[in-house]
Amino acid sequence: MKLSNSIALRSEIGFNSGIWGEDFYDGTGFLLTLVLTMEPRFYYNLNKRAKKSHRIDGNSGNFISLKTSYHPDWFVISNTENIRIVSDISIIPTWGIRRNIGKHFNHETGLGIGYRYTFAKQAGFLEDESEIDVNLHLRIGYRI
């Protein structure tokens, strides 16, 4: 969603996946769990790109963002019964680039290091946990 000429708000509702092999559960399994993400982005080089006659449509430029993701323990899709996740929230400052490929496709790369807080007490553990979290993404997209 465009908020101004250089600021956009990216939001996602999707699934993250996991695979395991006999670490905590018998056998091999997989799971899909819900993730809610909000990511305000500041595209800082659009004017420079426009002056050089480079494309800026579709937010083609360099950006910094604050990616915030929440994994609620609402439901899990898995090949193993009674699997639960521990809810967490992460806040990761990220730097990235987005470029167009032709008229409808784009590619994006981003990297960031931030903070994750896990609500472990809600799942029966003694203490909540916090740790460093990394955002590394490579995406290819299509726009109409």
pLDDT single digits (tens) 87-135: 999 999 999 999 989 889 999 999 999 999 999 988 888 999 999 999 9
If you compute the radius of gyration of the chain from its CA atoms, what whole number of angstroms results?
18
What is the C-alpha to C-alpha distance for residues 66 and 91, in angstroms, rounded to an integer?
7
Q: What is the chain's length? A: 144
Please provide residue 58's backbone torsions phi and psi, each rounded to the nearest 5 degrees.
Answer: 65, 30
Cβ of 44: how many Cβ atoms within 10 Å? Answer: 13
For residue 24, is pLDDT > 80? no
Q: Express as a percent the part of the chain with pLDDT over 90.
A: 58
Confidence of residue 6 (pLDDT cuts 50, 70, 90): confident
State both tokens at 87: 């809810």
